[in-house]
């Protein structure tokens, strides 16, 4: 029944987008599309449809539930679910030490508890078709079958993407299974805690627990000890961020202590064989030029801020998850911590990457391209073996959403080659990026230093300039916005009318702060003598004025809409 509901819901959503689909196909077929020559029809349609979904704002909890629905397990894959028990507080303390060691000022963060960590062992299953159900076996027996079919003893520790607040291992089973098949490996896909309910550094603590659980299996584990030289970190988008900050945590801790206490043992803090990253999100402030320059080819929404303005809370209907208490500017981290190296790894200076294992980075011609290319350049300059691919015209995480295309197949071929080479210790860095042109017609080798014009110092400055934009955020003002701007008009309307009808405590004037498009403001105009709507967004106020028409207050005066902030 649930799968039928999902299918019907998806069908309805796609029907609403038929005009968009027809327009996109018509422009593409006639050669008038702005992305002609860089995206085929399938890619362009995929980008257009995802972009349209991302423009539809729903409460955070609703978004999370939609992106965490388990589609079930079928086809040529083994999935064995496991839970690693919570270790001592030493893991939490180690993460805190790394955060403190890398601080540049007054960064603050929440204090998470150490928790048990759920994950899914994933591997390729031979000899079954795409609709074959997974046998109803105990989880440990599934793992044994998975391990038996794995051709090597390589393990990939995988962290899914989703901006640190969406997605789940269940949403990534298909690409993770493809990675396992191509790389001849077992994959442990981690269900780390999500923001905004669990902000930084909760996910990092979970990631460290998962890695240590491979090195020193806790009670109840299905697997035997996995040597660090047989482990690779891999992830997409925010998951790639988590790979990088986990690596940076290990590098930082190793400078002061060679071991960590884990389930009663002192475990050596060894580094993995390598990292394989897809479209890494390295800058939480989103301050790099490609965010705007590559928007044409990507579905990621543009940031709702500029360097010379105050950050405004996202216009998302409220629920029990967001806005949070106390108010916070960002889903994932405190404003003061957004350019901490364990939040935005792009902020880590070149020398901090010294002694890192080999890194593979794949990006498209996407919003996050600059971040991945700059961090690759920093690592190369620090002496780290780096392999970098950029695919012309491809959107964010293209290989995961259009796996069957020639670009998707080539991506999996190249990342699998890297994984095998990293475990074998034969990765060599040329200092060049492989630029893979549209439809893989050619591969050009370009020096990493030539890919992004900004110097490291200019990158740091752009990130620092983004800091005040977030730090100017006023929690009290945000709380007021959350109540006014985000309240549904009917609810606000009914509340005020009830107050007027049930009490003698009447008001002559209404100041609607955070009025948005002014729907509730106009509805309440007949109740008050003077009505003024205030919103910091000029676009909102312009729309409100256009829509106001003949709306008048009780005194007959027209409703007034003003651009401004709460304190104004």
pLDDT at residue 456 is higher than 60 = yes
pLDDT digits 0-9 by tens, 389-427:
999 999 999 999 999 899 999 999 999 999 999 999 999
Average of per-residue pLDDT across 128-136: 94
Task: Calculate mean pLDDT across residues 285-293.
Answer: 94
Q: Reply yes or no on whether the pLDDT at 460 is more than 60.
A: yes
**Mean pLDDT, rounded, for 3-11:** 55
Q: Is the pLDDT of residue 547 over 70?
A: no
For 341-355, the pLDDT digits (tens) are 999 999 999 999 999
When computed from its CA atoms, the radius of gyration of the chain, rounded to whole angstroms, is 25
- φ/ψ (deg, to 5) at 305: -165, 160
Per-residue pLDDT, 337? 95
Instruction: Please report which confidence band the pLDDT of residue 489 belongs to, taking 50, 70 and 90 as the band edges.
Output: very low
Q: How far apart are CA 224 and CA 542, in angstroms?
A: 63
Q: ω before 345 within 30° of 0 (cis)?
A: no
Q: Average pLDDT, stretch 55-59?
A: 79
Comparing 201-205, 273-277, 517-521, 531-535, which segment has the lowest mean pLDDT? Answer: 517-521
- Side by side, the strands of the sheet bearing 231-236 are 77-84, 117-124, 186-191, 155-159, 231-236, 274-278, 359-364, 386-391, 432-436, 443-447
pLDDT over 90, % of the chain = 70
Domains assigned to the chain: 8-60 (no CATH), 61-466 (3.40.50.1820), 483-563 (3.40.50.150)
Instruction: Give the length of the chain.
Output: 568
Helix locations, 397-474, DSSP H = 398-401, 406-424, 456-471
Residue 542 pLDDT? 67
Asked which of 33-47, 172-186, 497-511 is least confident by mean pLDDT, the reply is 497-511
d(C-alpha 62, C-alpha 72), whole Å: 20
- The most confident of the ranges 54-68, 79-93, 461-475 is 79-93
CA distance 310 to 468: 8
pTM beyond 0.85: no
Cis check for the bond before 226: say yes or no (omega within 30 of 0): no
Using DSSP's 3-state secondary structure scheme, residue 443 falls into: strand
In the three-class reduction of DSSP (H, G, I as helix; E, B as strand; rest coil), residue 316 is classed as coil
Q: What is the mean pLDDT of residues 89-97?
A: 97
Q: What share of the chain is helix, strand, coil (3-state, %, to 5)?
A: 40, 15, 40
So which residues are the catalytic ones?
237
pLDDT of residue 487: 39
CA 451, CA 380: separation in Å to the nearest integer? Answer: 13
pLDDT at 568 over 60: no
Q: Tell me how far apart the alpha carbons of residues 278 and 395 are, in angstroms, rounded to a whole number.
A: 11
What is the chain's mean pLDDT, rounded? 87
Higher-pLDDT residue of 56, 470: 56
């Amino acid at each position: 029944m649930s799968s039928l509901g999902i299918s019907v819901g998806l069908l309805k959503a796609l029907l609403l987008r038929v005009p968009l689909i027809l327009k996109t196909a018509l422009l593409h077929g006639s050669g008038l599309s702005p992305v002609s020559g860089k995206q085929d029809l399938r890619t362009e349609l995929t980008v257009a449809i995802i972009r349209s979904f991302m423009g539809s704002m729903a409460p955070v909890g609703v978004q999370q539930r939609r992106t965490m629905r388990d589609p079930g397990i079928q086809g040529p894959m083994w999935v064995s679910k496991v839970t690693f028990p919570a270790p001592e507080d030493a893991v939490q303390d180690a993460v805190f030490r790394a955060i403190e060691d890398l601080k540049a000022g007054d960064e603050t963060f929440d204090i998470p508890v150490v928790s048990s960590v759920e994950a899914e062992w994933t591997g390729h299953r031979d000899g079954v078709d795409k609709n074959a159900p997974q046998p109803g076996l105990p989880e440990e027996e599934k793992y044994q079958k998975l391990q038996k079919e794995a051709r090597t003893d390589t393990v990939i520790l995988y962290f899914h993407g989703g901006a640190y607040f969406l997605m789940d291992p269940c949403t990534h089973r298909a690409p993770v299974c493809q990675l396992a098949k191509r790389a001849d490996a077992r994959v442990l896909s981690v269900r780390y805690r999500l923001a905004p309910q669990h902000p930084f550094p909760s996910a990092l603590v979970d990631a460290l627990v998962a890695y240590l659980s491979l090195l020193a299996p806790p009670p109840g584990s299905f697997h035997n000890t996995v040597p660090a030289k047989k482990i690779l970190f891999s992830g997409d988008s925010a998951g790639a961020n988590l790979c990088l900050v986990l690596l940076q945590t290990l590098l930082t801790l190793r400078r002061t202590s060679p071991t960590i206490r884990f389930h009663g043992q002192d475990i050596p803090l060894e580094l993995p064989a390598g990292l394989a990253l897809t479209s890494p999100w390295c800058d939480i402030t989103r301050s790099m030029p490609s965010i705007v320059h590559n928007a044409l080819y990507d579905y990621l929404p543009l940031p709702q801020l500029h360097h010379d303005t105050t950050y405004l809370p996202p216009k998302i209907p409220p629920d029990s998850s967001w806005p949070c208490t106390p108010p916070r500017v960002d889903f994932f981290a405190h404003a003061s911590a957004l350019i901490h190296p364990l939040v935005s790894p792009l902020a880590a200076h070149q020398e901090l990457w010294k002694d890192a294992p080999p890194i593979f980075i794949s990006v498209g011609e996407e919003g996050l391209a600059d971040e991945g290319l700059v961090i690759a350049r920093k690592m190369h300059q620090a002496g780290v073996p780096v392999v970098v691919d950029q695919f012309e015209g491809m959107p964010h995480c293209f290989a995961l959403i259009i796996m069957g295309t020639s670009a998707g197949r080539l991506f999996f071929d190249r990342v699998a080659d890297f994984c095998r080479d990293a475990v074998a210790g034969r990765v060599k860095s040329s200092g060049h990026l492989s630029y893979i042109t549209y439809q893989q017609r050619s591969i050009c080798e370009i020096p990493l230093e030539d890919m992004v014009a900004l110097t490291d110092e200019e990158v740091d400055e752009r990130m620092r300039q983004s800091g005040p934009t977030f730090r100017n955020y006023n929690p009290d003002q945000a709380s007021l916005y959350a109540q006014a701007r985000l309240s549904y008009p009917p609810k606000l309307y009914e509340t005020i009318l009830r107050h007027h009808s049930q009490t003698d405590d009447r008001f002559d004037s209404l100041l609607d702060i955070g009025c948005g498009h002014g729907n509730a403001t106009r509805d309440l105009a007949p109740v008050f003598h003077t009505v003024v709507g205030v919103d910091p967004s000029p676009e909102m106020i312009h729309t409100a004025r256009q829509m106001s028409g003949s709306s008048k207050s009780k005194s007959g005066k027209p409703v007034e809409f003003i651009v401004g902030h709460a304190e104004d």
